Amino acid sequence: MNKNTLGPLAVVLVGVAAFGTMLAISEQPTSCPCYSSSSPNPWYPCLHNPCPKETLSIQSYRINTPTNLTLNILNAGASPKALIACYVKDSNGAQCANGNWSGQTLPPAIAISVNILIDGRAFTFQTGMSYTVTIVESTYDQFTFAIT
């Protein structure tokens, strides 16, 4: 290699390295979309899933009548939850379904009372019996609770 080409070659290599470093510093990884493993920037893979864990939990319950159960539900997630369907099953497997339920919207970090009404044909609520309540919210997440 000629001595006269080493200087310009070194300048080019240093320039490419400097440009690559500047590019790497200026291009920060972006958040990946919820429930996605593909990054909007192909040079940076998804490092974590930024989706918050959505959780509903029962704080308490009360059987009001043989066809009315009140659940005190806490939305521990970061976004409101609109309730759209409710399914109740007794310990014998009989089920009451309301797939077109216009339930309440649960704001985040707040517990509110939700009434569950059944028609009383398949079974009725009785103190001392066990029930499974499944609530579906507007993004179709399902939350199942055991009532004993």
Q: Is 98 exposed, middle or buried (0-12, 13-18, 19+ CB in 10 A)?
A: middle
CA 18 to chain centre: 42
The Cα–Cα gap between 139 and 11 comes to 56
Angle at 95 between CA 111 and CA 145, to 5 degrees: 30
What are the pLDDT tens digits along the chain (148 aa)?
566 776 777 666 666 666 655 555 555 555 555 555 555 555 555 655 556 667 899 999 999 999 999 999 999 988 899 999 999 999 999 999 998 888 899 999 999 999 999 999 999 999 999 999 999 998 899 999 999 8
φ, ψ (nearest 5 deg) of residue 142? -110, 140
Six token digits for residue 147: 């009532």
φ, ψ (nearest 5 deg) of residue 94? -70, 140
